[in-house]
Structure 1
Amino acid sequence: MIKRFILGVFVFTTSAILAQKNSASPYSYFGIGENFEGVTVEQASMGGIGVAMKDYHHLNFTNPASNADLRAATYAIGGSLTFLTVKEQNVSQTGNSTSLRYISLGFPVGKKAGLSVGLQPFSSVGYSLLDSDNSDDITFYTGEGGANKLYASFGIYAYKGLSVGAEASFIFGSIDNSILNQRTNVALATKHEESFNVRGGQFKLGVQYKTELKNKLKFYTGASLTLATDLSSKGSERMYSLSFSGAGQEILRDELFNRSLEGNISVPLKSVYGFGLGKENKWYIGVNQQFQSALKTNNAFISNGASHKYDDSSKFAIGGYYIPKINSISSYWDRVTYRAGLRFEDTGLLVKGTNNFTLVKDFGINVGLGLPLPRQLSNVNVGFEYGQRGTTKNNLIKENYFNIRLSLSLNDLKWFQKRRID
């Protein structure tokens, strides 16, 4: 019964991820949108660590080598609710967005390997910006869409304590942007629209090593490399004049141009390194460090220019978990997993302000709970994050956000066993 339920939910939520709007951030205006952080709710609740972490009943999106430790078929689905406050000097606005963040299925392959497949957002666009600094000139920017990632990830033990893994992904999606300009005492407005599709493949390699110390302590190290790739983009752009009906509907007047465009987006090599220390099913603390070179584009839709440019990016995260007593019978709360973490990020995006370009930084404080369900190893995971992105200096935008994340991790130790009739 649970297999049919999982497969049914898998199909339904796959359609939902493809159709949803994932972002409300003004910073999704740049490039191909706001980058999706490829971590589970469990990992996000620990600041986003995981490159060195091993777990036999939770998925790990950071390092494909972790699949080697899967000992139960695991279905995972995660979503988030974001409350956003945008500040610009003395003006502030609020908004929110709700989205499914991933859907994945993992299972062991023999006793030394594991495989997982799934779908998650790669980037998201969802902004609505009004520029009215000039009283005679009002410009309205809107955008929606993004890219998704369909992936398959495999890990295997190559030697005692040493596992290796690889992941192959297909990235696809569409993005729509528009700029509407209206001048006072001018009968017609002008609108520039662009729509393009993003396509490409991506590969990731990973390695993990575990060694046992004294007093049952275990030391973990890990690394993953996401190889550089080129994403192709094809679409069209047009500009036209328009007027508005009494009901506010657009009435096209004259089309100034309508043409096809194409280009490439070069996504550079990304490396993640980390280590961790802990006692199995008791506690764990780990550190991640991520580096990535600057994004490059040869693209008529997306290019470094007057408004923004890209530089190298980096991210540091530290976090962990604690379980009072995983097999407690007397207290449910002793079986709960308590998680916490911090992350600090230089996004690599530089935005032009009043005087010069300013690097956009991101910071987050995370806590979370893993709530066990009656069925075997299954659990519900809840995470909370408070974060800040950007700055009000240099006439830029600062975001204060609060994320509520929720995931369901269903495990079945007998997924591939045939039924026996007594």
Structure 2
Amino acid sequence: MIKRIFLLPFIAVGLSVEAQSLGNSPYAAFGIGEVKYDNSVETNSMGGINTAYIWDFNNSFNFKNPAANTNLELTSFRVQMTNENQSLKSDFNGLSANKHSNYLSNISIAFPISKKLKFGLGYQPYSSKRYDIITSKILADSTVKANRFYGEGTLSTIQAAFGYQVNKEFAVGLRSNFYFGKLSDVEELAYSNAELINGFETSNKIKTFNFTLGSTYQKKFKNDKKLTLGATYTFGTTGNVKTQFLNSTYYYYLDQKLNVTEIEKKTSEDKNLIPTEASLGIGYGHDAKWFASAQIDYKKGSTTMFLGQPFSYQDSYRISAGGWYLPNYNDFRSYLNRVVYRYGAFYEKGNLNVNGTNINQYGITAGVTLPFEKSNAVRMSGIDLGLEFGRRGTLENNLIQQNFFNVKVGINFADKWFQKRVYE
């Protein structure tokens, strides 16, 4: 059955699917869906650099590398939203479409436990899928053959992270991720001269977790310049993924399945859902003035069940570069001088291969952090705005090319809420 999923018409007809629950990519139909993690506005606005990113001020927590939180001194509460806009096209019958979606992409709280130990707790959607596709074909005997492919579900994560400053230059961190959710995919086969529909359904019930180890080294020089090195390693998931495959026949009456007859039903359990990852980063900057960084991420391929058959992701990597610039955070005569300006770019060799073609993506990013009018270097609350322009996929082999324009908005409230409790 899995071979039918990769038919070229199926990919092209994906242009007509409904908007994804957390995104619009037609490639979300495969595997665990379209991965959304990490959704931080500030790091996303810098091309995704985060491994060697230690924010110079005291109001932000880096979940991606939990070791990179040396300067956190305030309680930081963040809420972030994402607006995604996709322009999709294919050379298959000249099809094109536009898709839009909005969703809560991040909510977190972080605070210092002591001068050396920092803690953060957050929620993010990890991946999502929602699609409904119908194809039809007239056979030689005038019988109409119809295939329907549909699926839905969301995989979310709750993350808890600790960062510890070992000495003036070196820090380590640990993050745990708990993943939970349900994902389902169904293929239905029907003929105009048959009463029953043949359905093939794969359901994944996920409760699993993994861990990330992080480290940073930051060397400060006498001229206020600094060099930062960072590394992270994420272990594969170790929890429980229950997969059920059902092959059955039935018919519909008022959207209800009736006369269901099971042909084959089997279940399996697996732990290899979220793959092993590693990241290296390097950054250089001027204290409280500017910072630039480059980073490479590697993600090991993995296998999951999709319509009763193993579906394999290939090894992938991502190269990103970006940074920020702050004219003068103490200039209260000019608001624009206290705005943080962010920039970045990335290229990703994707983990999805369709019809022998890699589904890669690249893009440029920009953003600003707008401090509240009464914010200062001690209590820097504000609004984060981020823009992302890019392209994923290709027109080759009648596949889909998607141009995307995403807008991210976040609010960061930073203050000394837990100061007495923290330093007692």
What band does the TM-score fall into relative to the shorter chain?
0.7 to 0.9
C-alpha distance in 1, partners of 2:309/2:172? 36
1:253 aligns with 2:259: yes
- After TM superposition, give the deviation of residue 415 of structure 1 in Å: 2.9
Question: Helix, strand or coil for the counterpart of 2:420?
Answer: coil
Q: What residue number does 1:278 align with?
A: 285
Question: Helix, strand or coil for the counterpart of 2:223?
Answer: helix
C-alpha distance in 1, partners of 2:96/2:242? 36
C-alpha distance in 1, partners of 2:268/2:129? 19
Of 383, 388, 411 in structure 1, the residue corresponding to residue 391 of structure 2 is: 388
Question: Helix, strand or coil for the counterpart of 2:267?
Answer: strand
RMSD: 2.3
Of 156, 161, 184 in structure 2, the residue corresponding to residue 176 of structure 1 is: 184
C-alpha distance in 2, partners of 1:68/1:132? 59
Tell me if structure 1 keeps the 8 A contact 2:106–2:125: yes
Question: Helix, strand or coil for the counterpart of 1:67?
Answer: coil
Residue-by-residue CA offset, 1:131-170 (whole Å, 9 max, x unaligned): 3466733322221112211121001111111111111221
C-alpha distance in 1, partners of 2:185/2:395? 25
C-alpha distance in 2, partners of 1:182/1:113? 60
- After TM superposition, give the deviation of residue 264 of structure 1 in Å: 1.4
Question: Helix, strand or coil for the counterpart of 1:344?
Answer: strand
Distance 1:296 1:182, change over 3 A: closer
Tell me if structure 2 keeps the 8 A contact 1:51–1:62: yes
Question: Helix, strand or coil for the counterpart of 1:380?
Answer: strand
TM-score (norm 1): 0.86
Tell me if structure 1 keeps the 8 A contact 2:242–2:269: yes
Tell me if structure 2 keeps the 8 A contact 1:221–1:275: yes
Question: Helix, strand or coil for the counterpart of 1:64?
Answer: coil
Residue-by-residue CA offset, 1:253-302 (whole Å, 9 max, x unaligned): 34243634123152442111011111222111111101122113478856
Question: Helix, strand or coil for the counterpart of 2:43?
Answer: helix
**Which amino acid counterpart does residue 255 of structure 1 have in structure 2?**
T
Question: Helix, strand or coil for the counterpart of 1:369?
Answer: strand
Question: Helix, strand or coil for the counterpart of 2:419?
Answer: coil
Distance 1:130 1:383, change over 3 A: farther
C-alpha distance in 2, partners of 1:42/1:291? 21
Of 65, 86, 100 in structure 2, the residue corresponding to residue 84 of structure 1 is: 86
- After TM superposition, give the deviation of residue 100 of structure 1 in Å: 1.0
**Which amino acid counterpart does residue 379 of structure 1 have in structure 2?**
G
Q: Percent of counterpart pairs with the same letter? A: 30
Distance 1:303 1:53, change over 3 A: same
TM-score (norm 2): 0.85
**Which amino acid counterpart does residue 233 of structure 1 have in structure 2?**
V
Aligned pairs, number: 389
Residue-by-residue CA offset, 1:179-226 (whole Å, 9 max, x unaligned): 233434544433333322012120100111111235211111111111
Of 211, 217, 231 in structure 2, the residue corresponding to residue 209 of structure 1 is: 217
1:94 aligns with 2:132: no
Q: What residue number does 1:23 align with?
A: 23
Question: Helix, strand or coil for the counterpart of 1:333?
Answer: helix
Of 223, 229, 236 in structure 1, the residue corresponding to residue 231 of structure 2 is: 223
Q: What residue number does 2:151 align with?
A: 143
C-alpha distance in 2, partners of 1:412/1:196? 41
Distance 1:58 1:302, change over 3 A: farther
Distance 1:133 1:333, change over 3 A: farther
Q: What residue number does 2:134 align with?
A: 130
C-alpha distance in 1, partners of 2:293/2:307? 42
Q: What residue number does 1:10 align with?
A: none
C-alpha distance in 1, partners of 2:211/2:381? 30
Q: What residue number does 2:16 align with?
A: none
- After TM superposition, give the deviation of residue 104 of structure 1 in Å: 0.9
- After TM superposition, give the deviation of residue 175 of structure 1 in Å: 0.8
Distance 1:298 1:256, change over 3 A: closer
Tell me if structure 2 keeps the 8 A contact 1:25–1:127: no
C-alpha distance in 2, partners of 1:180/1:222? 48
Q: What residue number does 1:36 align with?
A: 36
Q: What residue number does 2:114 align with?
A: 110
Tell me if structure 2 keeps the 8 A contact 1:69–1:113: no
C-alpha distance in 2, partners of 1:220/1:271? 17
Of 166, 170, 185 in structure 1, the residue corresponding to residue 174 of structure 2 is: 166
- After TM superposition, give the deviation of residue 393 of structure 1 in Å: 0.7
Gaps of 5+ in 2: 1-19
Tell me if structure 1 keeps the 8 A contact 2:116–2:165: yes
Q: What residue number does 1:399 align with?
A: 402
**Which amino acid counterpart does residue 121 of structure 2 have in structure 1?**
V
Tell me if structure 2 keeps the 8 A contact 1:68–1:154: no
Tell me if structure 2 keeps the 8 A contact 1:67–1:116: no
1:55-74 matched pairs, under 5 angstroms: 55=55, 56-74=58-76
